[in-house]
Amino acid sequence: MMSKEEYEHLAKQVFFSCLEVHKHLGPGLLESVYEACLLKELSLKNIVAESQIPIPLVYKGFELSKDYRIDILVEKEIIIELKAVEVILPIHEAQLISYLKLANKKLGFLANFNVPMLKDGFRRFVNNY
């Protein structure tokens, strides 16, 4: 289990990696392009990240044949939900909050790359943090 300091250090690395990808690519590309480049950027920093991780749907103790997919899972702890949209909608935020709960993770980021400045499209969410 990670300490809060380790979470925060990793969170900064995630933000700086997203920033680097946005700096090189800018807005206007497909989400899948940002995902591939962000995975590469994280690996260049020796950070383990996996993409398209399935989260099983468990309802009343029963695992149903429906999976949700996390865009990127960093060090098996931090969820990154990527977007390349005009505007972040409440449904996008609800999606990440649900993923945090379903996967039992404490920290997640919603990163919208379709903005002139990444800080305007980067949001942090917590679950029992």
Query: Token digits for 46?
Result: 């020796």
Nearest to 78 by CA among 2, 16, 21: 2
Tell me what pLDDT residue 59 has.
Answer: 87
Tell me what pLDDT residue 108 has.
Answer: 97
Tell me what pLDDT residue 8 has.
Answer: 95
Q: What is the C-alpha end-to-end distance of the chain, expressed in Å?
A: 12
- Domains, the chain, ordered by start: 4-126 (3.40.1350)
pLDDT per residue over 41-63, tens digit each?
Answer: 999 999 999 999 999 888 899 98
Q: Whole-model pTM? A: 0.93
Residue 27, amino acid:
P
Element (H, E) at 124: strand 122-126
Alpha carbons 19 and 117: distance in angstroms, whole number = 9
The DSSP bridge partners found for residue 53 are 70
Q: Which of the residues in the chain have pLDDT under 70?
A: none
How is 30-41 classified by DSSP, letter by letter? -HHHHHHHHHHH
